[in-house]
Amino acid sequence: MAVAPSHAEPIAETTLLLNYLDARVRKDTLPPGFTGRVCVGVKDRARGGAVRWWIADFSDRARSYFAAERPREYGVAVGLDDDGARAMLGLPMSGKPMQLVAGDRALLLKFVRRYLRDVSPLQSRIGAMTKPSSGVRGRR
């Protein structure tokens, strides 16, 4: 049985963002309409810089899980720091967010269109990350 966090211990944006992505994907029971592996990792300064990953595999259906390490094989990987996670959630940031995208940006866009199309702050931030001219480092 999961224990709810106390009010004295706020939920990290790392947890909020990754759990939100997981809930959006798990809620949709229809076939995704695309194939590939999407990985989102958030580096949490408050927890010593540990990175928590959310991984989702898309084929005939979506399967997702959490991990301490990014898998070797992926379609697209998005790396964020805690300010990057805050930006995705539309929350105020303490500094400039770190955002890295590696892999297939078209896959990231398909994921956003399928699962986040009605989420404006998150979609607009990820949408900006899928454009080559966005200043975000990574390979296409």
User: What tens digit of pLDDT does each residue of 14-52 get?
Assistant: 688 999 999 999 999 999 999 999 999 998 777 788 899
Q: Which two tokens stand for residue 89?
A: 């959630």
User: What average pLDDT does the structure give for the chain?
Assistant: 79
User: What tens digit of pLDDT does each residue of 76-97 get?
Assistant: 999 998 888 888 888 777 878 7
CATH superfamily placement of domain 13-130: SCP2 sterol-binding domain (3.30.1050.10)
The pairing of strands 36-44 and 50-58 is: antiparallel
pTM of the full structure: 0.74
Percent pLDDT > 90 in the chain is 49
* Residue 135 predicted with pLDDT over 80: no
Q: Where are the beta strands (DSSP E) in the chain?
A: 36-44, 50-58, 62-67, 76-81, 99-103
Q: Where are the domains of the chain?
A: 13-130
pLDDT at 96: 80
